[in-house]
Amino acid sequence: MDFKSRPMIVFNLKHKEEKKKFHETIKKMHERKNKEVDHFKRQQLKEDIDNKIVNWNQNLYPKSWKYFDPHFMSEEGLAMYAEVVYNTMGVGSFTFNTGCGNHSPNGVSANQMRLLKMFKGRPGCTVRIDKYNIGLVILERRY
């Protein structure tokens, strides 16, 4: 097994507690969004959730890890963020922890499929599911 090509992420109990609180906050935001009848307010809540998840990731994971966990993020929000990553990453790889869809209605991660479709066939770019963890999408840029 080649550990150099995969991020190794180790956290302590404090981090797990903070992550649990964060997920509870996001869950409540989603509940508010799902109850909202006004389209524009719903859209704003969706964007607020996505922004909160991006900020959480940027504060939690050092930039050098090139890792992002989009759990609870909208498909559109992840697509926009992934495009920014692709345009600024340079040569190298970046890992998205999309999960494999265990909690998705059809058992397939919509975010994972979106990333694979977005980047498949781009010149100088490969996108694949990690062979050791099917919940990770690896984006690699050769030039």
In Å, what is the CA distance from 133 to each residue of 1, 2, 7, 26?
Answer: 12, 13, 11, 25
Rounded distance between C-alpha atoms, residue 122 and residue 78, angstroms? 18
Rounded distance between C-alpha atoms, residue 97 and residue 6, angstroms? 11
Burial state string for 64-75 with b = 16 or more CB within 10 A and e = fewer than 16: eebbbbbbbbbe
Please indicate whether residue 27 or residue 61 has the higher confidence score (pLDDT).
Answer: 27
Domain count, the chain: 1
Calculate what percentage of the chain has a pLDDT beyond 70.
92
User: What pLDDT, on the 0 to 100 scale, is given for residue 103?
Assistant: 75
Band of the pLDDT at 46, cuts 50, 70, 90?
A: very high
Closest CA to 111 of 62, 89, 78: 78
Please indicate whether residue 123 or residue 60 has the higher confidence score (pLDDT).
Answer: 123
User: What pLDDT, on the 0 to 100 scale, is given for residue 11?
Assistant: 66
**Phi, psi (deg, nearest 5) at residue 132:** -100, -20
Beta strands in the chain (DSSP E): 67-68, 92-97, 125-129, 136-141
| Inside any domain, residue 27 | yes
CATH number at residue 59: 3.30.1370
Provide the residue range defining the domain that includes 109: 12-141
Tell me the HSE value of 81 on the side-chain side, using a 13 A CA sphere: 24
| Inside any domain, residue 50 | yes
Rounded distance between C-alpha atoms, residue 119 and residue 21, angstroms? 33
Q: Is the pLDDT of residue 25 over 90?
A: yes
Region of 78 on the Ramachandran plot (φ > 0 left; ψ -120 to 50 alpha; else beta): alpha
| Inside any domain, residue 4 | no
| Inside any domain, residue 7 | no
User: What pLDDT, on the 0 to 100 scale, is given for residue 63?
Assistant: 82
Q: Give yes or no for a contact between 61 and 68, defined as CB atoms under 8 angstroms apart.
A: yes
pLDDT in tens, 74-112: 999 999 999 999 999 889 999 999 998 887 778 789 999
| Inside any domain, residue 3 | no
